[in-house]
Amino acid sequence: MTKVHPNMVPAPGAVVFHEASSIAERAEEAPTTLTVWRKSLLFDCKGFTVFDAKGNLAYRVDSYASETGDEVVLMDAAGRPAFTVRRKWFSLQGEQWLVFAGEETRRPVYAVRRSGRGKTMAHVTACAGASSPSPSYEVEGSYARRCCVVYDAERRAVAEVRPKEVVGTDVFRLVVQPGVGASLAMAVVVALEQMFARPSLLRSWST
């Protein structure tokens, strides 16, 4: 049986990914590969447990069964909030989830909006008023099959969700290219889970 979580001791700095300062630096860096397990390690919780390439805990999402899942916090290995993903109600642009830095929920940094046009399943757009200019992205493919790609404005693949052999759809890989924060890529995965998984692991559809 495939081993999902080889090590359980968080590695110091396991989730610190800096932006590349030049094309040459990006070329020298290797992609970040994460293994995503659609399971919380806490009792009576739903969520994600994410491991780095060495098997160390990198991220986690823990949502109690009693919660609606309309707001989800992505935490690093030490339990510090990396991003908060919250549903935007009454959006004229269709289903939309806002991504906030840390636990701050006043000024979103990105909006992930569901798309029904062609191959594009979602748009990831930088929000006005963000502290620094940020690129926007498009997501193509099928999250249900754990096979989708995130493209930047120049049509470069910057992140990819890939199925993991044998173990089904509850365990998959997230491959993030240099220059893109792995925590942001994981926050986008959380939003895709909310929009496209049926039933969603984190969201109560009875509410």
pLDDT digits (tens, 9 = 90+) for 32-75: 999 999 999 888 888 999 999 999 999 999 987 656 678 999 99
- C-alpha span between 58 and 11 (Å, rounded): 8
pLDDT attached to residue 200: 65
3-state percent helix, strand, coil for the chain, nearest multiple of 5: 10, 35, 55
- C-alpha span between 150 and 35 (Å, rounded): 17
Mean pLDDT of 179-194: 95
Please state, in angstroms and as integers, the Cα–Cα distance from residue 6 to each residue in 48, 54, 170, 195, following that order: 16, 8, 16, 30
Mean pLDDT estimate for the chain: 82
What's the whole-model pTM score? 0.81
pLDDT attached to residue 173: 97
Q: What sign does the CA torsion over 199, 100, 52, 143 have?
A: positive
- C-alpha span between 160 and 138 (Å, rounded): 12
